[in-house]
A and B are shown apart, each in its own frame.
Chain A
Amino acid sequence: MLRLVLRRVLAVVPALLGLALAAAVVAALAGPGWVEALGAALAALPATLALVLPALALGTVLGALLGVMGGAGAVLGGVGPAMPGFLLAAVFAATLAKAPVLLGLAALALPAAAQAATLAGRARAGAEDTVLLAARGRGMDGSALLWRLVLPLGLSAAMGGLRSAVAGTVTAAVAVESLFGRTGAGQLFVEAARAGDTGMAFAALAGMCGLTVLLSALGGALHGFIDPRARMA
């Protein structure tokens, strides 16, 4: 597991360095305060991570669980495309601005869960006549089948879509931070962009891209941990 994580993370190091370099160059070209800009962007990232990571984890696991069960999962997957994170954030902000932390989390987790549910449901349907039938033919059934085979397969499929889920969640996190007034890289980005502060905005964006790349790599390692077929890539 550790080796897998290391390999995945090392593989994205050049991309991360490239992003940092690009951010530094743009910030330096834009104004004299580029060191501060980079520092501010880096300092704001943990807050964004604290928003994105739980939402992704929660969304993927719950979505996969619902997806392999069918029923509610299929409904969730079906309406998924209609509710991108930024739209949910706006709706929550306008209607029930009571518990912003939980609401922000929900706005990010729901789309991730919908995608996971779709992928997991599809994986289950695809496995029904192959892997699952073969396992039933060997006398496996009931909860053993569900926990030992169906759920891992669904989870693996959901994690296969993690790359786009991470990108989507980070994008939506900008809207959540901006609408709920939370501090973080997204908030920093929006304010810098509104103020026309090129260096700061670009540094914040590069920071979020780096976060996305890193989270995708970790997600890929986790996927490989669950599914040996994903270890090769």
Chain B
Amino acid sequence: MHGPAGTESRTDPHWRDGPWQKAGQRLTAHRPAAAGLTVLAALMLAVAAGLVAGGGPVGAALAAGHQSLSFTLLAGLGGAALGLLWAAAAVALGERAERAMMAPAAALTGLPLALALPLVGGLLGPQRGLAPMVMVAALIAAPAVAVIARDELRALLRREFLSAAQAAGIPNGRRLRRHILPNAVLPLAAAAWTALPRALMAESLASLLGLGLPAGVTGWGTAIGAAARAGDAVALAGPALLLALTLWALHGVGDGMRLAFATAFSTTAGGRR
């Protein structure tokens, strides 16, 4: 018999790594996620450089990227925060409140919610400010985040090590701080990430219709819409390519996070009740 020795050599060179390293390794092992991270980093650098250098069609596309990406980041963060809050409140308030809160969230994910942004954009008129638009985009992204986050939290609360902590007499507050919150970080981050591509999609669609970013602010969607209406394929290429690339990267990273983190800390599958 192989004695349970703990430190003997194993085939996997990374077997000793901590859970956070292992989660990182799993994320970068997913090829679209690794590529997506690289693309996003490169894009950020390019946009920053474009702001400094400026000029030409490339500079214009990068400048538009600055607007689109800032909007996405703000709206995405807002949507993620709203969604997580939604899910956390639902789980914390007990079963009946949970059902009452999650049913509308699930129903909303099945509607063309992104159209709410051009609606609000149109109603606010061309003099609309950026803040309400960000807020609406955040609201659009929130329900999907809430649904995923609720599932993750439910799964987390069923994990056996929480029973073990209870058997060890650890009070509820400490259990929440030391065990539940740290273990919720990565799955919830994966849930929150989905707000980013949603916010970018909603903004680009609205801007393309001329009902998104306020007049005078040019995002990728605005540029694409103008080029499409003018039939100008050359002007379209830059922003369309960048937008496609960004969306692809955001999805790739999100997919990778879902695969790497949602199952990340369940060290073994299954287990009986």
A and B touching (Cβ–Cβ under 8 A): yes
Give A contacts to B, CB under 8 Å. Answer: 15, 78-79, 81-84, 86-87, 89-91, 93-95, 97, 163-164, 166-168, 170-171, 174-175, 178-179, 189-190, 192-196, 198, 201-202, 205, 208-209, 212-213, 216
Q: Do residues A202 and B248 form an inter-chain contact, with CB atoms below 8 A? A: no
Contact of A93 among B116, B122, B231, B243 (CB under 8 A): B231
In the assembled complex, 9 residue pairs joining A and B whose CB atoms fall closer than 8 Å, in A order, are A84-B247, A93-B228, A193-B118, A193-B211, A194-B122, A194-B210, A201-B123, A208-B112, A212-B112
Query: Would you give the 0/1 interface string for B100-129, flagging 1 where the beta carbon is closer than 8 Å to chain A?
Result: 000000010111111110110111010000
Task: Report if A90-B251 is in contact (Cβ < 8 Å); known contacts: A194-B122, A205-B119, A216-B110.
Answer: no
Taken together as a complex, chains A and B put the C-alpha atoms of A205 and B205 apart, in Å, by 15
* Chain A interface helix/strand/loop/mixed: helix
Query: Would you give the 0/1 interface string for B1-42, flagging 1 where the beta carbon is closer than 8 Å to chain A?
Result: 000000000000000000000000000000010000000000
B151 within 8 A of A: no
Q: Do residues A87 and B112 form an inter-chain contact, with CB atoms below 8 A? A: no
CB-nearest residue of chain A to B234: A94
Taken together as a complex, chains A and B put the C-alpha atoms of A189 and B86 apart, in Å, by 30
Task: Report if A90-B112 is in contact (Cβ < 8 Å); known contacts: A15-B107, A201-B119.
Answer: no
B204 within 8 A of A: yes
Total B residues in contact with A, Cβ cutoff 8 Å: 43
List residues of chain A with CB within 8 A of the CB of B250: 81
Q: Do residues A167 and B244 form an inter-chain contact, with CB atoms below 8 A? A: no
List residues of chain A with CB within 8 A of the CB of B135: none
Q: Do residues B197 and A81 form an inter-chain contact, with CB atoms below 8 A? A: yes
Task: Report if A170-B208 is in contact (Cβ < 8 Å); known contacts: A193-B118, A196-B122, A205-B119.
Answer: no
**A183, chain B: closest CB distance, angstroms:** 16
Q: Do residues A189 and B115 form an inter-chain contact, with CB atoms below 8 A? A: yes
B85 within 8 A of A: no
**B23, chain A: closest CB distance, angstroms:** 22
Taken together as a complex, chains A and B put the C-alpha atoms of A163 and B236 apart, in Å, by 31
